[in-house]
Amino acid sequence: MSRPPGVLPPRFDPLDPEVIADPYPFYARLRQAGPVCRAGVGTWMVLRYADVSALLNDKRLGNRRAGEDGSTPLFGAGPSGTLSQRIIAGREGPDHVTLRGLLTRSLAAARSRGWRPRVEELVDELLEPGLDGAPFDVVADLAFPLQARIVCELLGLPPAERERIWPAAVDLGRAFIPYRLPTPEAAAAADRAVAHLRECVSGWFDERARDPRDDLISHLASGLGRDGLDRADLVDNLVFLLFAGFEPTMNMVANGLSALLAHPGEQARLAADPSLTSTAVEEFLRYDAPTQYTMRIVREPIELGGRVLRPGRLLLLVLGSANRDERRFAEPDRLDVSRHPNPHVSFGGGAHHCTGWALARVEGEAVVARVLSRCAAIEPAGPAVRLDHPNFRAHESLPVRLRAA
């Protein structure tokens, strides 16, 4: 659709309560209006699948989060600011390649131990009270404790450490919102969370450096001094794994079960044919992406939709909108647990493609398989409560009634 010269594209407000409740009708209208829309000062949102998938791989975009002067991190010069510059998501070039290689090898070593049986065992344990008729909340009773235990076990931490780290990890993950500059209060809260997590991680890191074990911390500690990686790099990337590896996977589980609640026919279809589990998980990721958009920084001028996006501008590549683009997906607003192919972009793409995608898929498939094996039906037991967040598609609460198989 063309726009008269000089007329600005529409503005999108991700903080609008109606958008947080259901952003997809808004995305559809914006896609029809054009490939980009405005979203704050110096910030543009890219909405169509072809543009999003191409820009995820475009070397004219960067991922290093800097402030308006180009040098100060978005969260200032304190702990959270330095963290944002050290973690893999904020690195570019050879530094990023080195860190990504180490993280990928470490996660592959952890995955090689065969996590699916352990995830299924944990799901069975967490489902048990609900099968006896007790009130059950998908978030509080399944998705949250499941992910907390999985991440702690991957890291090689005893159960007692969960209570020590998760409040700060969840708060920090939700503070790193790629939408607008943080307030001083938000930056101070993020600084406190980073300082706490660094203290926890530093102790574990030093212990594993002295006495390696078969866990993720030990694998990462083995990279100390390799290709210029120092202790601060590795400690901060372990902090990053704590919060980045937690929220999206937890939300994937809750969103998938929420989708089945809203589509009982697809729930019955999946229960009758467990071979659809893998395609169902891909469809959950497409249908309601846990992370709605990812941020990039324009490094060289880019022409898009008749506009030239200048260096220094923020681009929000809207994964959730791309996944519902009718130009790429037939009947995009329909949940189809057998959809194939399903080239969704929920894990991002390019150099910054999610490093934990394989483990996330293993967990999603294990959860769906066990829930549908143990339960004859999953039914709503009260109103779902969405998390008030502009980027995470998440639930605060998802009460259900489980009927044992």
What tens digit of pLDDT does each residue of 127-162 get? 999 998 889 999 999 999 998 888 888 888 888 888
Domain assignment present for residue 5? The answer is no
Domain assignment present for residue 43? The answer is yes
Domain assignment present for residue 6? The answer is no
Q: Which residues of the chain have pLDDT under 70?
A: 1-7, 64-76, 109-113, 176-182, 351
d(CA 99, CA 58): 20
Dihedral, 116, 118, 124, 125 alpha carbons, nearest 10: -160
pLDDT at 276: 98
d(CA 317, CA 142): 30
Domain assignment present for residue 12? The answer is no
Domain assignment present for residue 315? The answer is yes
Domain assignment present for residue 3? The answer is no
Of 319, 309, 320, 314, the closest CA to residue 349 belongs to: 319
d(CA 235, CA 241): 10
Domain assignment present for residue 10? The answer is no
Domain assignment present for residue 4? The answer is no
Per-residue CA distances from 23 to 10, 20, 125 (Å): 15, 6, 34
**Domain, as residue range, for 38:** 17-404
Number of domains, the chain: 1
**Report field, pTM of the whole predicted structure over 0.85:** yes
pLDDT at 111: 60
CATH number of the domain within which 246 lies: 1.10.630.10
pLDDT tens profile 80-126: 888 888 888 778 788 888 888 878 777 776 665 678 899 999 999 99
